[in-house]
Structure 1
């Protein structure tokens, strides 16, 4: 699960979660070009994996056709693991995901991860457009995971086979922001990633539940937990605070029910939000899992997260407007790795 070129931070690998942001004044084409550049730099800096997330009907996120974009990024890199963080399985027929990821693994053997979520990654109207019905919902997620595992097995029980896909060893991860996927990942002996970068409240409880109830399998003998963290790093704390306003604006607008492209940073958020609105945003962007600062601040807080969570890996999201500043943020983090 850790490639030979990976560097480590205090003994654990670091990964990148890319939402393929579409910036104000830009478009999806430029977003994909920037994702390729970021992925190529990330590979050279020693990051272990690069994940892309499925979202729909969001003007500021370009990764809706997640499998297609994974293939694009994998084709522009050489050895870093590329995967989904995640595929929202209730949106899809499981055979389609098995075939798509079977195809990806066949083209890029040993490099593909399949992270699965049970939320729609969108609003109800878009979820209906994706599924054509809302009768099959997140409660059927465990059955869908079973179906997907069967399609990848050497001897499927179904008459329908995933070709390519059958017999391929593609690591499956369950993603979650509550105890549901933590419990299911433990029961099935799968890797688990917690979305603490936007839902920090249940992080420690979910990790404990996962580890306490984990059932070993042939493919995974002990629990493997990855923790999501926002990091906005810059050469000074002051510049990082400025850059972070783009991320804060994104969550502020989401709270207000407004979907926008990623906004240019602003000098003073207090001129935009009220104290109550600021507090509401900070519920999602908890200081424990949203790190904003210069190199020493980032190092100290990453150390703290690792100590508290005992994470096997940390995956980092950095919603920064300028590509130059986003690259510098991930470069600063990479300089903390050995």
Structure 2
């Protein structure tokens, strides 16, 4: 049964950026009260995502309100629930991903695509229904409407499941939607980083052939022996790339920097699909003729709706899928952000 709390704000402690320098410091702020449809949980882990750094620097051309507490892959243990919350109970492992609100009535929302709602409310740095600014998971507690809270299966490690709330759904979703999850399909994964290594895990669990596409061989052994990739293609090796032309049904492109699409399109079979999921600051050049000559598609995918996110977590649980992680304390946050900006991370 739910516990009915008094309608008073809850004191929260986090780390916030105060301006576009993206230097983080301790920050005390208020979370809303646990309303009748809300879930409050103690935050135990929150992934550091590159988009958090972009958000803190306000360099995506989006409105940013400071102080900003980032974090949109948040997991922890339920401490309080509203009187109308039946899906969760105190002590459950739960998470909140990229969104905490939407209109709940538009075509996208009705079709469980809340992430594409024109009035979608991101977990960090956005205006909530009550006019306050949403603050993310670099904090000690989280309060969210039950609709935007997902259950973390008991057999998933809580720390390594946090990235699945963004990274996981961002690769699981396009594999399903673009029908690259069928037996016999051949999928390429570009760049074996945070998104890429999880994409390989999900694709292999779906039973498809996977080729990792990287700029160097430094992760080849790991890709083959630990992640289970079937092959490894070095994009700078023209002979190897030439041999792989027209061999793939689809490619999950996780690159977040400017890069050429034409070589990737050339790797596709007729009707093949390149799916962009990297967060790009500048537009890419689109080579049209190769698309016309192969009836090929360049598509995109961003996060996922709540039903799909929960489905992804159950799939991850069934197939023992979790992200590779390094666990740090909040006091290490600024150093971690510097390393992230420099690319000084493994995954």
Q: Taking structure 2 as the reference length, what is the TM-score of the superposition?
A: 0.29
Larger Rg: 2
Pick the structure with more strand per residue.
Answer: 2
